Structure 1
């Protein structure tokens, strides 16, 4: 019997930086072994261009991604919810696993400042894959 794929939701305030990078890394590294979503409590109009460039440097293109609003349904259908600076904006449901990754916000930063955030997110995603996939 195969077990169902785990589902992960990454949440940050604007869904324009940290959560987009985390979702892209998880999708890229875990492939179809994990269902991946990202959202923001107050989504931006577009993904941060410095984040797009930083991800392009490691071979992942997120230029076509768009920030999405955090919904109760997105949390409800996720097994793991990972927040990154959104405070109490996430609805909480019993039976879910919640993690909070403390990471600097790349908003307003240039690509040089985004690189170490990107690299830390990759390390965290690698650890997450080892746990759930």
Structure 2
């Protein structure tokens, strides 16, 4: 059944995309094979691909995005199910488009926390790319966020988080019992010039530093 499902799912893909996804499945199996079986790994890879297939403007980049997102989801699931215990706090930053506020917050958190904590981000309506003004504003602080990409959230990612920071996603933000939630009321930088994004960036840095202090992580 698994092979039949995979064949149906791949029938609309180019040969290069199929090969890239097969390679991605091998990579993920090497990383998670001791925890999850082939069927689970391929299901996460395929559903991750579907998250981007309808909106990506660069089809050849889709398998890489799918692999990266599937890896994050499998890491989250491993934490939820108790397969991965490193004691590090996990923070999830959520906004509407995952292109501005949550990406800048993630950038500051990763830069300041280093390997002391884990952080992810997501959006209720992900854009195709990160806001260029947000990229430029963070670059002024010496932080490169161009390696990230707008993505949705999934249940396992939210459930794996110790703290969920919401920024404007409203009723779309997922709620799970036992998780700490905090809403940061910040302007959306979408469509704003760099000079108007800088105050949002600076506010985010202050909030991230305060959050790190609250969860017992020393900022670098």
Which band: TM-score by shorter chain?
over 0.9
1:15 aligns with 2:102: no
Report the Cα distance in structure 2 between the residues aligned to 1:19 and 1:111, rounded to whole angstroms: 17
Shift of 1:93: 1.0
Shift of 1:128: 0.3
Q: Looking at CA atoms only, which structure, 1 or 2, has the larger radius of gyration?
A: 2
1:54 aligns with 2:137: yes
1:34 aligns with 2:123: no
Q: TM-score with structure 2 length normalisation?
A: 0.59
Matched position secondary structure for 2:165: strand
Root mean square deviation, CA, Å: 1.2
Gaps of 5+ in 2: 1-85
Structure with higher RCO (Cα < 8 A, 6+ apart): 1
Q: Which has the higher strand share?
A: 1
Shift of 1:52: 0.2
Pick one of 185, 188, 199 that aligns with 1:105.
188
Partner of 1:117: 200
Q: TM-score with structure 1 length normalisation?
A: 0.96
Partner of 1:72: 155
Shift of 1:64: 2.2
Matched position secondary structure for 2:150: coil
Moved over 2 A (4+): none
Q: Which has the higher helix share?
A: 2
User: How many pairs does the alignment contain?
Assistant: 132
